[in-house]
Amino acid sequence: MAVNVIMLGPPGAGKGTQAERVARTRGIPRISTGDILREAVHLGTPMGSNVKAVMDRGELVGDDVMIGIVTERLDRPDAERGFVLDGFPRTVAQAAALDALMADRDPLIVLDIVVPESELARRLGMRMICEDCGANAEGPTPMGHCLRCGGRLTQRTDDNGAVVLERFKIYQRATKPLVDFYHARPTFRSINGAQTADSVAAELAAAIEAFGNGRVNGTAGGRTR
């Protein structure tokens, strides 16, 4: 059975860190739409130029662009054994499109990382990104340099105070309805994200194991019957 995971949660919930852990442990790709878009911005591709202003304002990139990115990525051979989606879907329209893409695949495991808003604001205020390669810094780094390429770290433009507030508003309006879309499915679980990273990882792993061991009934192609 392929392990097809969606990580849900607001900005700063730790989706990226946990998605990377799950992907590494399971030997499946982590598909981060945010990383794909940031790389496009960094490289100055046509798509990157189109979405940069949208991302800098903390707004969501259009459904058509995001669905196209994910459709192409899931068609690659390395996603046949499963994947971890980080940053997609972010709207109900994207979720419906993903259901269609999953029609002939194993069910989606939907994990919603829940963190109080005050803690999210604190985390986002401390988050840094590499100016050279665009990678997010994971935890403390020596002398403020990227552990991947050695580039200088700076605050993300979408993590400043005013933009953070706008991102929370957008999440509440557009993305939080995904919880309502998914919560009745037997492969949905809420995860306490206000724990240590290791505790969150253990809870996520237990949920995935429970679903993978056949303790879930009535699903097909990511949709409940």
Active site residue 169: no
Q: Is 15 a catalytic residue?
A: yes
Give yes or no: 38 in active site: no
Residue 75 near residue 189, CB atoms below 8 Å: no
Which residue out of 21, 38, 90, 189 is catalytically annotated? 90
Tell me whether residue 81 is one of the annotated catalytic residues.
Answer: no
Is 176 a catalytic site residue? Answer: no
Catalytic residue, candidates 156, 169, 189, 215: 156
Within 8 A by CB and 6+ apart from 3, the residues are 26, 28, 81, 82, 106, 109, 208, 212
Residue 93 class from Cβ within 10 Å (0-12 exposed, 13-18 middle, 19+ buried)? middle
With b for 16 or more beta-carbon neighbours within 10 A and e for fewer, the 169-195 pattern comes to: ebbeebbeebeebbeebebbbbbebee
Determine which one of 21, 38, 73, 127 is catalytic: 127
- Residues tagged active-site: 15, 90, 127, 156, 167
